[in-house]
Structure 1
C-alpha cells in the first residue's frame, strides 16, 4: 500500500517519460520497415544490376534470397543483442542496432554492380544484409521490452500499437519514395541506378533515429531489476511461452510481409500492371492500418490483449483467400484489398503482440526469451515469404500463395492455446 501511494505523485512524470520512450522506440520501427521494405520493393529493379546471368526471373529470385538471408540471421542477432539488452540495458542495445542498420544502408547504396566487380557484388550485398539482419534481430524485442517497461499503467497496449505504427509509417514512406522515383526517373532510370537513392534515404532516417535514441532514458524497471538481489531466472524455464510466441508469430509475420511487402508483386503476377500507381495504391491501406493499430491498442487495454489478438488471427485465417481472389478476379482494386487485409487482420495482431509477448517474461531475461522465438518465426516465415511466393509463382502455383498465408494464421490461433499468462 505504501509503495502504491508513493508512486502516485510521480505518475505524470512517468507518463511524460513514457511518451519520450515511445518516440525512441517507434523511430526504430520506421527505419527497420523502410530499410527492409525498400529492398524487397526495389528488388525487381536492382536484381539485374547486382546479380549476374541472363534470366531475369532467376536474378529476381536471387535478390529475394538475399532478402531472406537477412532474416535467417535474425535469431542470432536476437540472442546476441538480447543478451546485451538484458545485461547492459535496453537503450544501449537500441543505439547499437540503429547504428549498424544505418551503416549497412550507406554501404549498400555505394556498392558496385556485378558488371564492375563480378560475383563480389552479390556476395557483399548478402553480407551487408546479414549484418543488418543481426542488428534487426535485437531491435524489435528490445523495443518490446522498452515499451512494456516505460508505458503508463493501463496504456501498455495502446503504446504497443503506437510503437509498432512506426513500422508502417516506414512502409508508407517507402512506397512514397519508390513511387516518386518511378514518377521522376521512370522504370529504366530506377534500374540504371535510381534504386540507390532509396538506400540513401534509409541511411538518413537511420541517422535521425540514432540521434533520437541517444537522448532517451533507460527503462526504470530494468534498472530496478538489475539492482535487485537474487538468482537470475533461467530462459528455458519459460519454454512453453517461448513456443507459444513462435507459433503466434508465424501467421502474423506472414500477414505483415504479404500485406506490406509482397502485395504489389502479387498484384502484378495476377495481372495488375506494376507501375507508379501500384505502389501508390498501397499508401491508403497503410495509413488506415496505422489508425487501426491505435484503435486495436485501445480495445486491448479495455477488453484484453489476447481477445483482440485472436480476433485478428481469425480474420487473417478466414479473410486472406477471399480478398486475394477478389484482387485476382478484378472485383476489387489493389488499394481496397490492401486496406481490408491490413486493417482487419494485420492491425489487431501486430498492435498488441509486443506487450502481449514480452510482459509474460521476467525483466532479467525478457528480451532473449521473447526475442529468440519471435525472430526465429519471422526468419522462417516472414522474411522468406516473398521468396516462397515468387517460387510458387514460377512453378505455376500462384493460386496457392493466399492459402499458405491463411494456413499460417491457423497455426497462430493454435499457438494462443499454449500461451500462459502469470
Structure 2
C-alpha cells in the first residue's frame, strides 16, 4: 500500500538503518530547497532582461526579477499552512515528498519558459506563477524538516542532526554558487544572458527528482504516529486560537527567523552584489569567492551542533546568538575597504550566521507540541521570511538605485538583535525549557551512541 504520491508504506524510525534514512531525507530536501531558491537569486541579473525586459541601465528588469523573488516569498505562509496541516495530519514523510515533487516540477517549468522576445509579457507572468507555486511548496518544506528532525533525532545527538539537516541549506547555496561559477567559466557572462541561465534550473529539477526518491524510502516519525493516535479525526484546535495559546513560541520563532533570514540573505546571497556596488570587486569574482565562505559556514554549523550536544544548548546559544549584535556593524564598515578586507569580512559574517543556523531546526522545533508542530512553526516562520527575507533583495536594489546603499548595514545590524532576544523568550515556553534542561543534564553524562 502506498500514499497517493507514491510514498512507501510506514516504517518505524527505529528500524535498522532508519537513522541514516531520516537524516538523508531531511538533508537532501534542504539541499534542493536552498539550491532552487538561491539559484534564482544568483542568476537573476542574467535572466532579468530575457524574462522581464530592459529598462534604463537594465534596472527595471532586475527589479522585476527581484520583485518576483519577493512574490514567491509571499506564497510561503499559505503553503506553510496547507502543507503544515498535511504534515500534522497525514505525516511528515507525505508532506516532505509532496513538497519536493512540486518544487522539481516548477523548476523544470522555469527552465523551459520562453523569453519576452517569444511570448512578450507572458514570460514575466509565467515566471511569477512558477515562483508562486514554488513558494507554496517551500513554505511547507522547512517546518516539516524541522518537525521531522526534532522528532527522530536521538536525544544525545539532537543538535548534531539539526546542524546536518540545516547544513543542507548551506550545501544548496554552495551548489548554487558552484553552478554559477561553472557556467561563468564555461559560457561566460554573455552566454548566461543569452539563455545559459536555464541550465541552473535544469539542475534544480534533477536534484528535486532525486530528493523525492530518497524521501519515498524514509521512515515515518514514531513520535508523530503516537501523537496522531492520540488526536481523533477532526479534533485539532482551530489555527488562530492555537497560535494565541503558544504566543511565546510564536514570538520566539519570529525573533529567531528575523535575524537568521536577514543574516542569511545578506551574508550568503546578496553580499557579492553589495560589494560590487562599492566597486570593491566585480560580481563574478565575488560569487566565486562565496563558495569558500559557504564551506566555512557549513563547517561552523556542524561544530555548533556538536558543541550544543556536548556542552548544552544554552552556553552555545548565548555565545552564538549574542555575539553578532556588536560585531555585524563593525564588520560591514570594513567590507568596503578592498578585496582582502572583503574576503575576511565575508568569512566572519558567514561564521556569525552559522552559529545561529547550526541549532535552528531543533531550537524552533522544540517550541511546539507534536500535534501542531509543523503548522505552528511553519506559518510564523514563513510569514517572517516573506516579510523580511523576500523583500530584502528588492529593498537593497532600490536603495542602490537611489544612492542609499549605506542604509543596509544599519538594517542588518538591527535585525541581528532578534536571535539574542529569542533565547530569552524561548525559556518562557515550559516544554522548551524542560527539554533544554534535560539535554544539558544528558550533556554532562557520558555521550551514548546513535
Q: TM-score, normalised by structure 1?
A: 0.93
Structure 1 runs not aligned, ≥5 long: 1-10
User: Are positions 1:417 and 2:419 aligned together?
Assistant: no
Q: Which residue of 1 aligns with 2:73?
A: 71
- Report what 2:273 is aligned to: 265
CA contact (8 A) 1:74 1:137 kept: yes
Structure 2: runs of 5+ lacking an equivalent: 1-11, 432-450
Q: CA deviation at 1:164?
A: 0.5
Q: 1:273 deviation in Å?
A: 3.3
Counterpart for residue 34 of structure 2: 33
Say which of 245, 253, 256 aligns to 2:264: 256
Indicate whether 1:244 and 2:245 are aligned: no
Q: 1:161 maps to which residue? A: 163
1:278 CA drift (Å)? 1.8
Structure 2 equivalent of residue 5 of structure 1 = none
1:335 matched to 2:336? The reply is: no
Q: CA 1:149–1:14 in 2, change beyond 3 Å: closer, same or farther?
A: farther
Q: Residues 292 and 108 of structure 1: is their aligned pair in 2 closer, same or farther, counting only changes over 3 Å?
A: same
In terms of mean alpha carbon deviation, does 311-320 or 353-362 score higher? 311-320
- 1:248-306 deviation line (CA, Å, top 9, x unaligned): 21011100111111011111111133254321101111111111111101111233334
**Deviation for aligned residue 1:232:** 4.0
Change in 2 beyond 3 A, CA 1:331/1:52: closer
Say which of 184, 187, 205 aligns to 1:185: 187
Equivalent residue number for residue 383 of structure 1? 390
Query: Who is 1:282 aligned against?
Result: 290
- Once the two structures are superposed, the pairs formed by residues 268-347 of structure 1 within 5 Å of their partners are 268-330=276-338, 332-343=340-351, 345-347=352-354
- 2:111 counterpart residue number: 109
Question: Who is 1:144 aligned against?
Answer: 146
What is the distance in 2 between the residues matched to 1:395 and 1:303? 48
CA contact 2:272–2:283 (8 Å) conserved in 1: no
Structure 1 residue 348 and structure 2 residue 350: aligned?
no
Over residues 3-61 of structure 1, what are the superposed CA-to-partner deviations in whole Å (9 max), with x where a residue is unaligned? xxxxxxxx995684222101100001111111111111111111011112432112111
Deviates more, 1:40-49 or 1:310-319: 310-319
1:222 aligned residue: 224
CA RMSD, 1 decimal: 1.8
Structure 2 CA distance for partners of 1:219 and 1:184, relative to 1, 3 Å? same
Quote the Cα distance in structure 2 between the aligned partners of 1:88 and 1:355: 21
Deviation, 1:323, is 1.8
> Between Structure 1 and Structure 2, how many residues are aligned?
411
Indicate how the Cα distance of structure 1 residues 47 and 366 shifts in structure 2: closer, same or farther if over 3 A, else same. Answer: same
Paired with 2:144 and 2:118, the residues of 1 have a C-alpha distance of: 39
